Every structure is written in structure tokens, then in C-alpha cells.
Amino acid sequence: QKEVEQNSGPLSVPEGAIASLNCTYSDRGSQSFFWYRQYSGKSPELIMSIYSNGDKEDGRFTAQLNKASQYVSLLIRDSQPSDSATYLCAVNRGNSGYSTLTFGKGTMLLVSP
């Protein structure tokens, strides 16, 4: 079983719609979860971090975490063409105190005008 799984997409949504990106992880000991956005040819940039079960909102972005189901998602409201990018789910795994991120392969999001 892959450690962090995401649907590779592309996920196509019209401008103004809600985009829903999903991620599952295998290590039950994982405690920190991150969503990064990566534009083509650029480096990953942090969108959201979430550590507790439930929802966390920041502007148009909402991260949702369900540790029992080992599931984390990112909702993007009022999607804009500028949101078109690959979204990487990252999980800080394991029992050590080290900050080791395991990334999913990313979901490509395409927002059409």
C-alpha cells in the first residue's frame, strides 16, 4: 500500500465552482498534514496545514482531516483559473520527532474560465 495516495487527475472544474481534492495515508501514527500547491516548473508552496480532526478554513481554502478514516481533503471555493496547478498532499509520518514529509503524487487541477 502506498503511503500517501492521491488521484492524479486531472480534476476539471469550471470557474466559480468548488474543487475537492482528496488524500489518504497509510501510517496511523501520522500527526501533521499539509497541502502544497505546485505550478508547472515551480517549487511547492504551502497552502494549508492541519493537525487536528475537523475543518480548518483559510480564505477560499478549507482543509478537512479525519484521522479515523486516514483521510485528508482540500476544498477550494470559488475556483479561479489561477488555481490551476498540481496539489500535493504531504504527511509527516512515523514516530520519530523528525520532520519527514511523505508526499503523494499530486492531483492536477484545471479550472476553466
Which CB atom, from 9 or from 17, has the smaller least distance to other proteins?
9
According to the binding rule CB under 8 A, does residue 100 interact with other proteins?
yes
Report whether 29 contacts 93 (CB < 8 A): yes
Interface map 59-98 toward other proteins (x if CB under 8 A): ---------------------------x-x---x---xxx
Which CB atom, from 79 or from 86, has the smaller least distance to other proteins?
86
According to the binding rule CB under 8 A, does residue 52 interact with other proteins?
no
- A 10 A CB-CB count for 86 gives 20
> Shortest CA distance to 100 belongs to which of 90, 109, 108?
90
> First and final CA of the chain: distance in angstroms?
37
Which CB atom, from 17 or from 70, has the smaller least distance to other proteins?
70
In this chain, which of 10, 15, 16, 31 binds other proteins, going by CB under 8 A? 31
Report whether 29 contacts 94 (CB < 8 A): yes
Is-cis flag, bond preceding 113, omega within 30?
no
User: Where does this chain bind other proteins (CB under 8 A)?
Assistant: 31-32, 34, 38, 42-46, 49, 51, 86, 88, 92, 96-103, 105-106
